[in-house]
Amino acid sequence: MSRSLGIPVKLLHEAAGHVVTVELKSGELYRGNMIECEDNWNCQLENITFTAKDGKVSQLEHVFIRGSKVRYQNCSIHEMIYSLLDSLFETDLKYH
């Protein structure tokens, strides 16, 4: 039996290079640029704004988040669509 990735995981991979918000099951929030996300939702972020459960905000340079601790991840789909369209137009222009 072939195992393929679901749409949510594919979207996470597409979010690399974009700003995402990750909420952990503990209630902590991380918002930063996603470097990489794995199939199990493990992800690396850089230039992060971290919000603790008590509301205290701090800046972090780099974090690795374990996928099993993630409640949800949110990214701006508009940024991903625009970047995809840009790359398609660039490819199309090369062949004309």
> Quick one: pLDDT band at residue 1, thresholds 50, 70, 90?
very low
Cβ neighbours of residue 30 closer than 8 Å, sequence gap 6 or more: 21, 22, 24, 45, 48, 49, 50, 51, 60, 63, 65
Structure tokens at 76: 């701006």
Is residue 2 predicted with pLDDT exceeding 60? no
Of residues 66, 70, 50, the one with CA closest to residue 58 = 50
Mind listing the pLDDT tens digit for each residue in 39-61?
999 999 999 999 999 999 999 99
Domains of the chain, each with CATH number or no CATH: 7-94 (2.30.30.100)
